[in-house]
Chain A
Amino acid sequence: MELSPKIGKEVIECCKAGDKEAFEKIVIYYQKKVLNIAYRMLGNFEEAKDLAQEVFVSVFDSIKDLREEIKFDVWLTQITLNHCRNRWKYLKRRHYFNSDSLDDPIETEDGNMPRQIDDPSDNPETFYEKKMMQQFIQRGLLKLKEDQRELIVLRDLQGYSYEEIGRLFRLPEGTVKSKLHRARMDLKTILERHVH
């Protein structure tokens, strides 16, 4: 995951110097990634949006302390994951996730609809089926342990390489692979329980 030509070293340096234009370039380039990591980690769009914005505020405040040898992408992902961990703890303390079950009715823009999970991979054509499928997997993700969820989000949803994940978590590649395998198997078990 190298820097795009649009976000080169000079943009980072300008942002370090307090240049708002450079900061905006960074936000525009990375906002979708940060928002999606946050959304998959927390399972709530509003919380994820708020968190992603907080991440960029933190970036603006502390980018001057960013050392040259650390890649901006890795640093930004670390900030995002740290924010997610803190927010997760905060929401958990307030029993935010307690009533959240895979069998709960699915929230849609048109109100709640009863959950009828059949194997969605067979024919996930209709809008509701697609929506249902997305939320079903999201809730399955939330049932995983936090570190397992991070691995699946980064590798399977964001496409990080094993090497990048290893650098982020300071783990050898082999360990990352085995942990990821464990996480996928656990997710499989969770989802299987709710598929008729």
Chain B
Amino acid sequence: MECKKVRDRFASLLENELDPLEEKIVREHLAFCSECQKDLQQFTKTIRWIHSVKEVEVPDGFLSEIYIKMEERKREAPPIEETRWKWFRHPFPLKLPVQAVAMVAIVFLVLYLTKMMPVETSRPKVVENSKPFVSAPLPSEKQIDQLSAQIEKKKDRVVAQTPLKPSPLKQIEKAKTPVSETTPAPSETAKMEAALAKGEQASLAAKPPQEILLRISDREKTLNQLYELLQQFGGKIITMEGNIFLASLPKATFSEFEKELLELGFPGKTDKMMLKKNGMERLDVPEGKKQRAVEMEGKTSAAPETERQDYLLVRILLLQE
């Protein structure tokens, strides 16, 4: 048996807890191992020392001092204070989950509040950004130029789109064709200038035109109805190029007019698109209209209506299907 194993059995040997065979092996080892013998002697001595330790006696007045301590404790912790500071005396493992839940709640509250704040603060910013555009219109000459350029651009695209679902290649080809072939730009600008010169709506050009896209089946019938509607609401056709009409309309009657006009189109198919576009906006392909319209509605709704013109420019685009 190894020395270490023998030494591990010293306590059992002294307490006579080893079985006879094991005790015999240990004693045989001790007989020839002087180191283990010495260690056993020292161990025995230590145990004897420990056992020699005497018990101390209880001093007089031990019990009465216990009662004094009880009284002191009662005085130190009155019941009211006990309830008031009860929370702080709870053990930490109990307090920790409550504190953790409170912390999570606070974090969520802060996140919620910080998420809400930008929505509230962004609105004034949008108004501020849109103000210069509304309140500081460009000089009328410049705007007329821009307007005519915009009309030309849109015309190009609408002309390219009017055939029933043309192939992309054809669209590109048509878009590349010179503007003068379909609509001579100078003539339209001249008409616009003439209309403005009549002094009907001096401020028309200062404002981007409303656009209404109308899907129709019978062009002639729809045109008649359109004329009738315009007359009914006190409006006039300013220009007419193919399927694009530029009309002026009293502002007050515009919404009614628009409603009536949309009813002329294909039921359910008519794009309820009312775009208030600035000079740089361009007409999109039909697939992207709805999304665009939503975006633009968002923009226009954010901008306050500060215009005070009596007449509105309305561009009506007819799409024959």
Contacts and interface: CB of A to CB of B under 8 A. Distances in A.
16 contacts: A27-B62, A27-B63, A31-B63, A32-B55, A32-B58, A39-B56, A49-B59, A53-B66, A133-B49, A137-B49, A157-B55, A181-B8, A181-B11, A184-B43, A187-B46, A188-B43
B58 to A, nearest CB: 5
Given A57-B66, A177-B12, A157 B50 contact: yes
A192 B38 CA distance: 12
Contact of B53 (A27, A28, A157): A157
Contacts of B52: 121, 124, 133, 137
A142 interface: no
Interface string A11-40: 000000000000010011001100110011
Given A120-B49, A133-B49, A133-B52, 13 more contacts: A31-B58, A39-B56, A121-B45, A124-B52, A134-B53, A134-B54, A138-B53, A157-B50, A180-B11, A184-B47, A185-B7, A188-B45, A192-B42
Interface string B215-245: 0000000000000000000000000000000
Contact of B49 (A27, A121, A177, A181): A121
A184 to B, nearest CB: 6
Contact of A185 (B43, B65, B66, B70): B43
Interface in B106-155: none
Interface residues of B, number: 29
Interface of A: 24, 27-28, 31-32, 35-36, 39-40, 45, 48-49, 52-54, 56-57, 60, 119-121, 124, 133-134, 137-138, 152, 156-157, 177-178, 180-181, 184-185, 187-188, 191-192
B53 A121 contact: no
Nearest to A152: B50
A156 B47 contact: yes
Contacts of A49: 59, 62
Contacts of B58: 31-32, 35
A24 B66 CA distance: 10
A192 B45 CA distance: 10
Given A27-B63, A32-B57, A49-B59, A187 B69 contact: no
For B7, B52, B57, the residue with the greatest tally of chain A CB atoms inside 10 Å of its CB is B52
A56 B66 contact: yes
